[in-house]
Structure 1
């Protein structure tokens, strides 16, 4: 039986699982913010995001079980995205999340472009963006301070026209 994949808005009941995923060392090490997020911090972030109509907080669900998270921050006809999957997600979950979120961005939100960033040492995210058809559009040199080191950030872009021709 094939997995049934859905995308829904994050709600307050999702916060504990999102915080647990976000604080997992395998996820946290690739974030701009490296410290463990407290419950208070997480709640404050969620409340800020709820007041911004440009922000779409999305839970990726397979067969009724949350498996990943994505955020789209819309600016005019494009969006910046961020994402992660459950640390115990099976192989291939990230790719399914990516396809589902990009379909939502280009079909439901009618965006023309989705932009992403990856820390230069995050080889998995770099490969992921390329596998989804993103173009490496530039490098922000020494852009992020991670554990007292300044690292480059790679910028990626995917146009609606390129996504629809896949």
Structure 2
């Protein structure tokens, strides 16, 4: 049985991952259509999936949510990289947005909706001032998603990623709270 809904989008809901979601996460992380663009070439067995759940998805470094359509998991979206709240120590008040969807759910608007909800949450609920994201220069879909949300290209790490037998640039994108506009 899935966990409670944390955030609601127009097309998706976001909820904390549960132990029963490890198989879904493992399946996604072993699919080359996910790990290649994510630049994470290591396979994930059941034990590693459980460790990922315990150490990353259940950790306290940021907010990680399963992207769902009803009860069906579609992918993951997260904000990481800063501490916030009463004991916050990071004065930059910024996070990094990351996301992936299972390949059968690509190009259906789910990723855009999930990312938009997390950006809104970062600015309105966490009172952060900056959201960043990075991607391989070959990842046109992710670039389009970020630009559709108002992110701007801020920099390039030349030939910093190895993808499918070639070096590629890593692109850094960012969105400042003052440049963000809520859609509704």
For the aligned pair, the TM-score class normalised by the smaller chain equals 0.7 to 0.9
Alignment correspondent of 1:103: 120
How far residue 126 of structure 1 moved from its aligned partner, in angstroms, is 1.1
How far residue 141 of structure 1 moved from its aligned partner, in angstroms, is 0.9
Alignment correspondent of 2:172: 155
How far residue 36 of structure 1 moved from its aligned partner, in angstroms, is 2.6
Which has the larger displacement, 130-139 or 67-76?
Answer: 67-76
Distance 1:13 1:165, change over 3 A: closer
Alignment correspondent of 1:14: 21
Q: How does 1:72-87 map to 2 (within 5 A)?
A: 72-75=79-82, 76=90, 77-87=93-103
Which has the larger displacement, 126-135 or 16-25?
Answer: 16-25
CA distance in 1, matches of 2:11, 2:137: 34
Unpaired segments ≥5 residues, structure 1: none
Q: TM-score, normalised by structure 2?
A: 0.79
Q: CA-to-partner distance for each residue in 1:122-166, whole Å, 9 max, x for gaps?
A: 111111111111000000112123355332100000112222366
Distance 1:4 1:152, change over 3 A: closer
Q: Which runs of 4+ in 1 moved over 6 A?
A: none
Distance 1:3 1:131, change over 3 A: closer
CA distance in 2, matches of 1:42, 1:63: 23
How far residue 65 of structure 1 moved from its aligned partner, in angstroms, is 2.3
Distance 1:100 1:51, change over 3 A: closer
Q: Kindly indicate whether residue 62 of structure 2 is the aligned counterpart of residue 64 of structure 1.
A: no
Question: What is the aligned residue count?
Answer: 165
Q: TM-score, normalised by structure 1?
A: 0.86
Give the secondary structure class of the aligned counterpart of 1:35. Answer: coil
